[in-house]
Amino acid sequence: MFSGDRVQKALVIEAPATPFVLTTVPIPKPGPGEVLVKIIASGLNPADWIIQARDPFAINTTYPAILGFEVAGDVEEVGENVEGFSKGDRVFFETKSNHNEYSGFQQYALAPTEFLGKIPDDLSHGQAASISVTFSAAAYGLLPEDPLGAGLNPTFDDEIKFPGEAALVVGGSSSVGQYAIQILRYVGFSTIIAYASLKHAEFLKTLGATHVIDHTEVPFADLPVALHKIYPHPVKTIYSAITSVEAQDAAYASLSKDGKLIVATPQPVPRDGPDAAGRKVYGVFGSPYVPQNRPFGLLLWKHLPRLLQQGVFQPNRIEELPNGLTGIVGGLKKLEHGKVSGMKLVAFPQQT
């Protein structure tokens, strides 16, 4: 809830498909089970520019709207019935869509503690702001039980492994793709093939990729053949972080007859016909605030800070944007025009 006389700077969309404007809004007050976070770093995602420019969710969006889905900051104020968090704690979280007081493109936001993690000491706020949304997109597709996901490890059991198994990640150098690679390594896949630019090959191998197919040399249509040259057996697990029809078609054509394809969109291309029997396609909407996602979301936020602390997962490489909240506008233009590769753009609202 918004209350009191304190105000903050925020980047706001005042009406559908209109430009961002810098303005002031009240600083919200945390309710029971919530904390107020002073936002140090906000991660940028393609959904931010898509919502602003194309307004695909207008029917569900309340204006004026504040966007921003990945946040890292410091606990400023603690609400009632909060345990385990104190003023000054460094934290990160995924924001609640269409609720301005929880959004990331401002200087302060609310966070429910059930989906809040403490930042490991060896990570910066900027690095932590690269994790929540994109890790969730990968995790929700790969780990929970059907029908939510592919069911590789619904309980974050560190002992579950898939030795001898192979997987393909289409768009391996994207933010989501990097976490998909790391999750597949976590669950012990022996062969992890990334379809990405060869310039990122060495970095992706540090995340767990064993092979990289160069997307600048191998078009989508030729991906199944290139994959078979590396791994001449059916591939049962494919994650496509690229959501274009061409990417989904190539991933599906590479899938074994009893395989599982995960696509980083809530609405993947429908599949039917004889070749669809036995294959499963999962769409992903990684928010823990969706009712059906809540049980797995509670588990994810219980284990993710631990796994980061242990070094099992590492954040994206980041590019720091200048000029605080106003720098977000240029950063989103870079995302829109495909000028970001292998990096997460991060803004710093307190520098506004």
pLDDT tens-digit readout, 175-210: 999 999 999 999 999 999 999 999 999 999 999 999
Q: Average pLDDT over the chain, rounded to whole? A: 95
Residue with tokens 């590019």: 319
Q: What is the pLDDT of residue 56?
A: 55
Residue 57 is predicted with a pLDDT of: 52
Q: Which helix (H) or strand (E) holds 4?
A: strand 2-13
Radius of gyration, CA atoms only, the chain: 20
Question: Band of the pLDDT at 4, cuts 50, 70, 90?
Answer: low
Quote the pLDDT of residue 2: 47
pTM, 2 dp: 0.95
Domain 2-131+315-351 superfamily per CATH:
Medium-chain alcohol dehydrogenases, catalytic domain (3.90.180.10)
pLDDT score for 97: 86
**Does the pLDDT at position 277 exceed 80?**
yes
Q: Which CATH number fits domain 135-283: 3.40.50.720, 2.40.50.140, 3.40.47.10, 3.40.50.1100?
A: 3.40.50.720
pLDDT in tens, 196-251: 999 999 999 999 999 999 999 999 999 999 999 999 999 999 999 999 999 999 99
Cis peptide before 154 (omega within 30 of 0): no
Q: What is the pLDDT of residues 284-331, one digit of tens each?
A: 999 999 999 999 999 999 999 999 999 999 999 999 999 999 999 999
Q: DSSP readout, 41-98?
A: EEE--HHHHHHHHH-TTGGG--SSB----EEEEEEEEE-TT--S--TT-EEEEEPPTT
Cα–Cα separations (whole angstroms), residue 275 to 51, 247, 267: 35, 18, 20
- Segment 136-144 shows an average pLDDT of 98
Per-residue pLDDT tens over the stretch 38-60: 999 999 999 999 888 876 555 56
Q: What's the CA angle centered on 287, arms 209 and 7, to 5 degrees?
A: 115
CA-closest candidate to residue 133, choices 341, 284, 249, 257: 284
Distance CA 124, CA 62 (A): 33
Both tokens of 47, joined, read 């959904």
Q: Where are the domains of the chain?
A: 2-131+315-351, 135-283
Mean pLDDT, to the nearest integer, of 329-349?
96
Domains 2-131+315-351 and 135-283 share a fold: no
